[in-house]
Amino acid sequence: MFDAQRRPLGRLFYLLACVSVLLGASWAQTPSTSTVSDTVYRADGTLAGGILLISWPTFSTAAGQSVAAGRKSVTLGPGGALSVALVPNTGATPAGTFYTVVCQLDDGTVETEFWVVTPTSPTTIAAVRTILGSGNSPVTVSGSGSFVSKTGDTMSGPLQLPSEKSEIRRGVYDRIVNAAITVAISAAIAMHDRWSFK
């Protein structure tokens, strides 16, 4: 009889603990986004239709907020209308972070672009489009940067190249951790219900 009276109080405790954990996670600050809003035309001046495949590597914003690697598919609206919200990557870490945008237009045209998104919102495609190695690109091609010249340079230390495998491993790791947390909470509730700790 004594255990039957304590059981609702224990369940209430675990319910409040779970709610506080969930509220803490929901109050975490999310990175702000900039909207890229524009009308897409073909070279002949007609309105374009199709899909934009946008991908990005893991990076930290200029404000230090982490952004996981990912992909997004955006369908151009009627009249070539584009509107997509992206986290600004200007000043991101690691340096040289950019969005890769593959434009697959309905006339069969496929083109790849690179975007550097600023905090200014809304913005246009022309404002975010960059050419790797140009003055508005985060990738350095000349001057005193951390790079190796094509001729006559040497390099010390390990060469680390980005790969999708590391991003996939990170995603798998995140899923395993989330599953482990869920199992631990479920086990704690089950143990409490079964043994009613005194």
User: CA-to-CA distance for 189 and 11, rounded, in angstroms?
Assistant: 8
Q: What is the pLDDT of residues 130-173, one digit of tens each?
A: 877 655 444 444 444 555 666 666 777 776 665 556 566 666 77
Find the domain containing 185 and state its range: 164-198
Residue 29 CA from chain centroid, whole number: 14
* In a shared domain, residues 123 and 178: no
Q: Is residue 157 part of a domain?
A: no
Specify whether 132 is located in the same domain as 50. Answer: yes
Q: Are residues 196 and 115 in the same domain?
A: no
pLDDT tens by residue, 56-108: 888 888 888 888 888 999 999 999 999 999 999 888 888 888 899 998 888 88
- Count other Cβ atoms within 10 Å, centred on residue 169: 11
In this prediction the pTM is 0.55
CATH of the domain at 77: 2.60.40
- 72 and 124 together in one domain: yes
Do residues 169 and 81 share a domain?
no
Number of domains in the chain: 2
Residue 135 shares a structural domain with residue 172: no
Instruction: Tell me: do 119 and 56 sit in the same domain.
Output: yes
**Rg, the chain, Cα only:** 24
Residue at 4 is within a domain: no
Could you tell me which of 120, 98, 126, 136 has the C-alpha nearest to residue 41?
Answer: 126
Are 89 and 179 contained in the same domain?
no
Instruction: Look at residue 120 and tell me if it is in a domain.
Output: yes
